[in-house]
Amino acid sequence: MKNLAGMKRSRFVILLGALTALIPFTIDMYLPAFPALTEVYQTNASTVQLSLTACLLGLALGQLVTGPLSDSQGRRKPLIIFLIVYAVASIAIVFAPNIYIFVALRFVQGFAASAGLVISRAIVRDVSSGAELTRLFALLMVVHNLVPLLAPSVGSAILLFADWRGIFLILSLLGIVLMMVSAWRLEETLPLERRVPGNLTETLSNFSVIIKNRKFTGYALAQGLLIGGVFAYVAGTPFIYQNVYGVSPQMFSILFGMNGIGLIIGSYAVGRFSYIWSEKKFLEVALFTATAAGAILLAVVLIDGPLWAVVIPIFFFITSLGVVGTASFTLAMEEQSRVAGSASALLGLLPFILGAVAAPLVGIAGEETAVPLGLIIFTMSLLGLLAYLLLVKRVDNETAFS
């Protein structure tokens, strides 16, 4: 792997994995505290879910800044600065006097956390390409996807001996540790001669060129729509599992963690078996599987089916996302070496915008029904499949017959 002199590959992957893991920790670790937050701030489920929406919007908009900034200023310096901002915002949340300040600070926290995702992905593209890009990103995704297994459980464990503030103190500590390790261990992977101008005109021009690539846009939409459905799942299941089906916070963490295993299986399969099946084949099968799982889930919640009948299709949907996330990223980034930061930002932007829209809709019919969740997951999966077929597949067919 180029540009990694002085770094052991395993240490490098662990560090980048930890940086990408900052986002799921930020999103998932406080989920078991949702019911408690409604009581603390004397508010309702939809308002608490708005804090997740604010975080997702911050993650989306932050990538539009951190991606181009890392293309013009290098990867290391912007990353360290944003990790400092993340740590400060996490501490400030502890002292939020009301739900509105809490929501605003969650936006800042998400904005700062975006650097960990977009810059680590750009670094992967800096140092690898082709099959190595697929393997390295799949490995990163396995590390990254371990976090949904751990985060709710860690949050539940903290709630056993502290209140919700303890969760954000731990997140602040995590930001400080990652900042220090990045400053100490992370080498710059984007040399001066490969950097692009950092003015607004050039940034918008880069975005325009990337978006006009129909295949890139198809991959981005396929990934973004499915992840948008996952954020609806993240926002809805704390209330659906605990209020509708009566499970404990600890059982919720176990069910949530099972889906983390599905994510790992999906990501690992692409990296391990891409020499047997192409990334595109993996992507197609996963998109069809996710759509079928969404249809089954919708049917189950419409008839008020049992918990196991809800858990199983959700598991297959989340497993499909592990495949789609890995395969679509490597396929979309393959031709974007010059503006890897901007391309990574666009790939990260859509999921968080769509997630920010979908998350509060889960609670629109109240806390005692799972129908909105089933409808959102099915719709997002179907639209993701259509985006792939109409953009990527059609371009491939046009090229084959030209």
Q: Which pLDDT value is given to residue 80?
A: 94
164 and 38 Cβ atoms separated by less than 8 Å: no
Q: Which pLDDT value is given to residue 3?
A: 45
Instruction: Give the residue with greater pLDDT, 300 vs 63.
Output: 300
Residue 199: pLDDT band by 50, 70, 90 thresholds? low
For 212, other C-beta atoms within 10 Å of its C-beta total: 9
Cα 374 from Cα 69, distance rounded (Å): 38
Q: What average pLDDT score do residues 31-50 get?
A: 84
Does a structural domain hold residue 44?
yes
Does a structural domain hold residue 364?
yes
Q: Which pLDDT value is given to residue 174?
A: 93
Token reading at 344: 């990574």
Cα 291 from Cα 295, distance rounded (Å): 6
87 and 176 Cβ atoms separated by less than 8 Å: yes
Instruction: Give the residue with greater pLDDT, 21 vs 318.
Output: 318
Q: Which pLDDT value is given to residue 200?
A: 63
Q: Which pLDDT value is given to residue 400?
A: 60
- Distance of CA 184 to CAs 178, 181, 188, Å? 10, 5, 11
Does a structural domain hold residue 296?
yes
Nearest-CA neighbor of 9 among 111, 136, 115, 160?
136
Q: Which pLDDT value is given to residue 89?
A: 95
Q: Which amino acid is residue 83, in one-letter code?
A: L
Q: Which pLDDT value is given to residue 291?
A: 96
Q: Which pLDDT value is given to residue 384?
A: 94
Predicted TM-score (pTM) of the model is: 0.70
- What's the total number of domains in the chain? 1
* pLDDT per position as a tens digit, 291-322: 999 999 999 989 988 988 999 999 999 999 88
Q: Which pLDDT value is given to residue 293?
A: 95
Does a structural domain hold residue 3?
no
Average pLDDT value for the chain: 83
Cα 70 from Cα 74, distance rounded (Å): 5
Domain holding 71, by residue range, is 9-191+199-401
Q: Which pLDDT value is given to residue 180?
A: 93
DSSP H helices in 303-335: 307-333
- Phi-psi group of 197: left, alpha or beta (phi > 0 → left; psi -120 to 50 → alpha; rest → beta): beta
**Can you state the angle between helices 214-239 and 200-212, rounded to 10 degrees?**
90
Whose tokens are 């198809």? That residue is 218
Q: What average pLDDT score do residues 337-360 get?
A: 75
Q: Which pLDDT value is given to residue 264?
A: 81
Q: Which pLDDT value is given to residue 402?
A: 57
Nearest-CA neighbor of 374 among 314, 324, 288?
314
Residue 163: what are its φ and ψ, rounded to 5°?
-90, -170
Does a structural domain hold residue 2?
no
Does a structural domain hold residue 1?
no
Residue 14: what are its φ and ψ, rounded to 5°?
-65, -45
For 248, other C-beta atoms within 10 Å of its C-beta total: 12
- Determine the Cα angle at 165 with ends 160 and 167, to 5°: 65
Q: Which pLDDT value is given to residue 48?
A: 86
Q: Which pLDDT value is given to residue 236?
A: 80
Does a structural domain hold residue 229?
yes
Q: Report percent pLDDT > 70 for the chain.
A: 89
Residue 336: pLDDT band by 50, 70, 90 thresholds? low
59 and 23 Cβ atoms separated by less than 8 Å: yes
CATH of the domain at 372: 1.20.1250.20
Q: Which pLDDT value is given to residue 34?
A: 82
Separation of first and last alpha carbons in the chain: 36
- pLDDT of 28 above 90: no
CB burial string 253-289: b at 16+ within 10 A, e below: bebbbebbbbbbbbbbbbbeebeeeebbebbbebbeb
Does a structural domain hold residue 4?
no
Q: Which pLDDT value is given to residue 4?
A: 46
Q: Which pLDDT value is given to residue 1?
A: 46
- pLDDT of 96 above 50: yes
CA 4, 326, 26, 207 torsion-angle sign = positive
Report for 41-45, 164-168, 266-270, 396-400: range of highest mean pLDDT: 164-168
Lowest mean pLDDT among 80-84, 198-202, 262-266: 198-202
